Homo-oligomer: A and B are copies of this chain.
């Protein structure tokens, strides 16, 4: 990479992705301390260690055009895609001003009409949903070169929903990036209790889709793979299965100390943020001062987003309309 000439556009994307990583890490550190201080409503699930993967996917997607179903560890991807920071803090703090109005929380937030569905908890369920969004557009002749993306963990690959969704997307030849982040564990469950193939990427052939594998701690490699996969999907080559490997650098949720992750494994693994910082400097993409500035700006942004949300009201049960249906005719 260092030797290759990087186009201005590519450089802008790299910058964008890197900023998202830093902002995400800053935000998640803040969420973690808010959680420990008892300020958060419900659980906190972080994506530490997976920012390079997530941010690079969010970066190659185009908001207002593409559709993206992030999962629990996709703060970086959401940020890169263009999610408002206030959506995050308002949701975690259970504010009625957030997109879920306090009706749902934490990672279950989204804005389906802006291309980002709000995940249900059931793993695997978002894949067919994203497929359907693209299907509807193609039916209407409005797909053009828009694409979709959805994230899953190694554990989610064991769900019937994942299988049915990926197979259906392949049969319908829909332009979807199906990102599997293999972080070696599903909650406490190691890979060898989750699947018995050597490498999940070997599933691509069985679905008849293109497969890509990448070291998820290598930010520039992630950017490359995501860019390729997005281009291939936009060009009409159907689903792109990406398997990205990176250890999760936190518990399953902030309530979990993750002591089931063997110390050797932790010791071996590197933090994608550190890798990305060196990559930015080594390639002359950013100086150390610029990086420090980004970090500083991120802190300011996060502090501000938390502060704004904190002043806002929580939902008032007497004002909620308690309607599960949108229709409000006389009988319904």
- Seen from chain A, the residues whose Cβ lies within 8 Å of a Cβ on chain B are 158-164, 167-168, 170-171, 173, 192-198, 200, 202-209, 238
Cβ of B196 and Cβ of A209 under 8 Å apart?
yes
**Which chain B residues border A207 with CB–CB below 8 Å?**
195-197
In the bound complex, how far is the Cα of B328 from the Cα of A15, in angstroms?
71
Residue of B nearest to A166 (CB): B163
A169 CB to closest chain B CB, in angstroms? 9
Cβ of A171 and Cβ of B159 under 8 Å apart?
no
Cβ of A202 and Cβ of B206 under 8 Å apart?
yes
Q: Counting chain B CB atoms within 10 Å of each CB, which of A168, A200, A206 scores highest? A: A206
Cβ of B203 and Cβ of A198 under 8 Å apart?
no
**Which chain B residues border A158 with CB–CB below 8 Å?**
164, 167-168
Contact of A206 among B164, B193, B203 (CB under 8 A): B203
A4 CB to closest chain B CB, in angstroms? 33
Cβ of A193 and Cβ of B171 under 8 Å apart?
yes
**Which chain B residues border A162 with CB–CB below 8 Å?**
163
Cβ of A171 and Cβ of B197 under 8 Å apart?
no
In the bound complex, how far is the Cα of B194 from the Cα of A195, in angstroms?
24
In the bound complex, how far is the Cα of B162 from the Cα of A164, in angstroms?
10
Contact of A208 among B159, B167, B168, B198 (CB under 8 A): B198
